[in-house]
Structures are given as structure tokens and as C-alpha cells.
Structure 1
Amino acid sequence: MSRDQSTYRPETLTASRPLLWIAALLSVVMMAPVAWLVGLSIKNNRELMLGTESVFRLPYTLVNYVNILHSSQAFGWFFNSMIVAIGQTIGVLVLSSLAGYAFARLEFPLRRTIFVIVLFGLAVPEQAVIIARHQMFNWFGLHNSHLGLMLPGMSSAFGVFLMTQFFRAIPKEIDEAALLDNASQWRIFWKIMLPLTLPAQATLGIFTFLHAWNDYWWPLISATKKEMYTLTIGIASSQTNFAQSEGLGFLSAQAVFASLPVLIVYIFFQRHIVTAVSGGAVK
């Protein structure tokens, strides 16, 4: 019997069966709120006004999603969220990649000191600098603008740290071979190093997109005009002011509608997350 065959024994599978049942139970518990939200979104609002237990019985309808298609506000908020999330993600990837390469591969004065200062950003909560940030953006007239919503999230200490560690994991022999071929530092970064960090960039991009898409704190402060609301602020304002008139089903459909981009992004890039976590970026 080979080593591989002896590894998978019946008693091993029997011992792990309780863990599988526990994992399945936890998955059901975690998915229950999502299933409840989807169920509310496909129910008639008049039925839900009588009682939310009607979600467990027929009939179901897609009228709430049809109403979203006729709602210019929801699409405007969706458009704002998409611009902010994509712009912030691109900004973080560009700045973090450049900074990470500089800290990991280049020699310049006070490199270690500056890197430590950047890491201090991980320990400073956003709420601690919110007043100063609000005043700065007010002076420059950046409130109620897409740029004003994007800029704070582009300074990612975590992104710089992640990319620095990833660049450090790449063997230096690659740089030396490229230098022997008279390649410039920019060409080494752009043509050689950057493609090797795609798993880390995909992971950082997903985390940044999720954070920007779900961000509530800064858009609540910076976006005071309704046309500049992101989806998180728009849906929250609907729940506060129009829950009775719009209906619980319509609000649930808006929440499902707001979650779709996050789900799509994760489905397309999940394999890069697995590669980055397993450390398989550099062979």
C-alpha cells in the first residue's frame, strides 16, 4: 500500500464527520440572514405589512426588482458607489505597488524609518482624524464629489505592507539577471516584478473594493447632497424616511441589488485570494 493510499483511511473520514456537520451547520447559520433577505425581496409589500412570516409561503413576485429598474435614485447611488469603489481600488493598487516595490527593492535615505511611520497608520483609527480630514476637504471644496469620496481610502497602510512583503518574497536573483541585461528599474518593476504579484494585487483589490463599497462612515460625512449618496447612504436614508411608503420588500430588493457587485467580484477573483494566502505567487 502506498503512502497516499494509507493516508485516507475509513476511520479518518469517520472521525472528521462531526467536523463536517459542524461546518455545514455554521454555513447554514451564516446563510440564513441572506436567504431571509432574498425571501423578503421577492414578496409583495402589502403581504409583508401584515406579517413577515408570509415569506415562507407563496406567491412570490419580482415586482420589487422591477421597481428598482424604474427608480433613478437607486441607479444614481449605484453609479456613485461604482465610481468610488473602482477609483479607490485602482488608486490603492497603484500607490501600494509603487511604495511596496520601493521599500522592498530600492535603497534610499530613511527607508526603514519611513516604512515604520507608514505602518503606524494601521494603529490610527479613522475616527481619530475625521475632524481634521473634514476641515481639509472643506477648505479644498472636495465634499459632495467623487474625488472627495475616493481620496481618503487611497492611503492604505495595509496595502503598502502587503505589497512590500510580497516583493520581498521574490528572489533577488531575478533583479540581478534583469540588470545584467541592461533593464532599467522601471522596466524591472513593470515587466518582471508586477506580474509576479498579481495574486497579492487581486487580494488587495478585492479587500479595497469591499471596503469602499460598504463604507458608510466617510460618505455619511462627506456626501450631504442626495445626488451624491452612495448605495450604503441611500439605502439607509430610505429605511429611515420611506420604509413605510416604499415597503420592506422594495428595501430588501435594494439591499440584494447592492450586494451583487461584491458577489461578482469575489467569484471572479477568489482563486487569486487562495493563491496569495497559500504563498504560491512565487515558484
Structure 2
Amino acid sequence: MTTQLSSGAVGRGLGDRVILAATIALAIVMVLPMLWAVGLSLKTNAELLVDTNSVLKAPWTFRNYYDILIGSGVFRWLLNSIIVSVGMSLGVLALSSLAGYGFARLEFPGRNVIFVLVLFGLAIPEQAVILVRHQLFSDLSLHNTYAGLMLPGMSAPFGVFLMTQYFKAIPTEVDEAAMLDNASRFKIFWRVLLPMTLPAQATLGIFTFLHAWNDYWWPLVSGTNEQMYTLTVGIASTQMNFAESAGLGYLMAQAVFAGLPILIVYMFFQKYIVRAVSGAAA
């Protein structure tokens, strides 16, 4: 029996080491491209045109970052991305919470049918409605506006589904106790139930922010004015003629600069991101 236990422990220990080694290897594979981009951003374009492997050798320079500070449109694009991402996240949280409360707690004709129709939105790709959306926003003169960039993303079927399920998980006795104190429906929603959904709201808000920050398709269609570019569109616009336009090192410096806000968000909300990912995996 002791021999079997020992062999089992050894087997588990070996398995754990294999998993750890595989995890480290995958982490290195994921990190290397980012480190390479940082290295490229610290080299002059003249050196990179001769040999991109020069990134491994000194000298390095912060000239590309200095050029961003004094003459790049990246700050304008950064501001646009912040406004759009934050605005879209707040809009999704407000609309999804209200809709989730309505589907979970209120009785009204056609509730189940409407909820199913909302969920159908998960199966419709954005590309399928892009022409109709473009025509609609053009008729309303919403292109090249913050509202035009944010409004399509506020239609979030997943957010409605998530908040509906979360509200359903809260016992109805909570509502009944609040009603005994003559609380209105809105007061029950705002003061009692909504604070109990903060974990779900944090998860939804983080995922919405990351999606909005990295979105390229709709901002490319709607934001045709350079002053309304988001970071993804703005940086892509500088890639014409590859390194010969503004310089590969300068381009990589812009990419690194653009990634810093996401890194900051991750550092502050790491606990919620891990909880959200583990919850989604479960």
C-alpha cells in the first residue's frame, strides 16, 4: 500500500512538473512578440532597414517615444479610445442591468419571446448588418461622432443574458422584504438588487471595455475623419508602406504606447479579470 501511494505521489509530482514546464513554455511564446515589439521601438529606422536583428544589440534610443510626445496624433487617438471605451462600458452596464432586471423580475406580455429575440443577437455576426447600420448612421449624421462610435456596441445581448441570470439567482424574498417597507420597483432595483450584482457588473464592464478598446471594424467604417480615429485605426493608418512611411521603430513605439492603458487596467482590475475568466471557463 505504501509503495502504491509513493508511486502515485511521484506520478502526480511528475505530472505537475510537466504542466508547469508547458505553462512556462507557452508564456514565453506569448511574451516574446511583445518583447520584440518593445525592442524594435528602441531602435532607429535606419538600423532596422539594414537589419531587424539589430534589436538585440546596442545602442538603443528613446527617440521614437520622444517623437510621439512632440508630433504624433496618438494622444488624440488615445483620448478617443478612452471616451469610446468608457462610454460604451457605462452604456452597456446601464442598459443590460435595466433589461436584466426587467426580464428577471417583471411580468409583461411577450417577455419570453422578446428575451429569445435578444439572444438571437448572439448568433448574428456584425458583418451581416454592417451595410444597414452604415446607412442608418449616415442618414442620422452620426458618423465621425462619439455617439456613432459607441451606440452599436451598447447593444449587448450577452450583457442582457448575464444580468438576467444574475438577477434570477437573487431570492425573490429580497424584493418582498423591500416591498413591505413600501419601496418602489425602481428603488428596489437601484438600492437593493443592483449593489448585489457588482461582481457581474465588474465582469461585464471589463469585457466590454477590452472589446471596445480593441475594436477595429466599426471605428474603421464610422470614424473616417482622422480626428475621430481610435487607437486601433490610427495606428493601422500609419502602417502604409511598412517601415518606409514613418519608421518601423516609430510604429512599434506607438503600439507599445497604445498597450499601456490596457496594462494599467489589468493591474488595477486583475482580481476581477481572473474571476471573470474563471467564471466563464466554469
Same fold (TM over 0.5): yes
Q: Name the CA shift for 1:278/1:79 in 2 (closer, same or farther; >3 Å).
A: closer
Letter of the structure 1 residue corresponding to residue 35 of structure 2: A
Letter of the structure 2 residue corresponding to residue 71 of structure 1: G
- Greater CA deviation, 24-33 or 182-191? 182-191
1:211 aligned partner = 211
1:56 aligned partner = 56
2:151 aligned partner = 151
| Cα distance in 2 for residues equivalent to 1:235 and 1:15 | 44
| Cα distance in 2 for residues equivalent to 1:276 and 1:181 | 35
Mapped contact 1:200–1:273 kept (Cα < 8 A): no
1:23 aligned partner = 23
1:120 aligned partner = 120
Mapped contact 1:199–1:273 kept (Cα < 8 A): no
| Cα distance in 2 for residues equivalent to 1:242 and 1:227 | 22
Letter of the structure 1 residue corresponding to residue 99 of structure 2: A
1:212-271 Cα distance to aligned partner (Å, 9 max, x none): 111111111111111111111111110015741411111001011111111211221221
Aligned residues: 273
| Cα distance in 2 for residues equivalent to 1:97 and 1:265 | 22
Pairwise CA distance, 1:272: 2.0
Mapped contact 2:266–2:273 kept (Cα < 8 A): no
Pairwise CA distance, 1:276: 4.6
Per the normalisation by structure 2, the TM-score is 0.91
Letter of the structure 1 residue corresponding to residue 129 of structure 2: V
| Cα distance in 2 for residues equivalent to 1:141 and 1:254 | 31
| Cα distance in 2 for residues equivalent to 1:44 and 1:172 | 64
Where does structure 1 lack aligned partners over 5 or more consecutive residues? 1-7
Give 3-state SS (helix, strand or coil) of 2:122's partner: coil
The answer as to 2:181 corresponding to 1:166 is no
Pairwise CA distance, 1:278: 5.7
- Greater CA deviation, 268-277 or 218-227? 268-277
- Greater CA deviation, 47-56 or 176-185? 176-185
Pairwise CA distance, 1:100: 0.7
Within 5 Å, which residues of 2 pair with 1:34-113?
34-113=34-113
1:9-57 Cα distance to aligned partner (Å, 9 max, x none): 6653333111110111111111111111111112222211111101111
Mapped contact 1:85–1:212 kept (Cα < 8 A): yes
1:161-214 Cα distance to aligned partner (Å, 9 max, x none): 111111112222222222222222212211221112111111111111111111
Overall identity of the aligned pairs, in %:
63
Where does structure 2 lack aligned partners over 5 or more consecutive residues? 1-7
Within 5 Å, which residues of 2 pair with 1:117-266?
117-240=117-240, 243-266=243-266
Mapped contact 1:203–1:272 kept (Cα < 8 A): yes
| Cα distance in 2 for residues equivalent to 1:164 and 1:33 | 40
Note the aligned Cα RMSD (angstroms): 1.9
| Cα distance in 2 for residues equivalent to 1:119 and 1:226 | 35
1:5 aligned partner = none
Pairwise CA distance, 1:69: 0.8
Mapped contact 2:239–2:245 kept (Cα < 8 A): no
Pairwise CA distance, 1:71: 2.3
Letter of the structure 1 residue corresponding to residue 147 of structure 2: L
Pairwise CA distance, 1:160: 0.6
Per the normalisation by structure 1, the TM-score is 0.91
Q: Name the CA shift for 1:81/1:160 in 2 (closer, same or farther; >3 Å).
A: same
Letter of the structure 2 residue corresponding to residue 211 of structure 1: H
Give 3-state SS (helix, strand or coil) of 1:122's partner: helix
| Cα distance in 1 for residues equivalent to 2:194 and 2:211 | 23
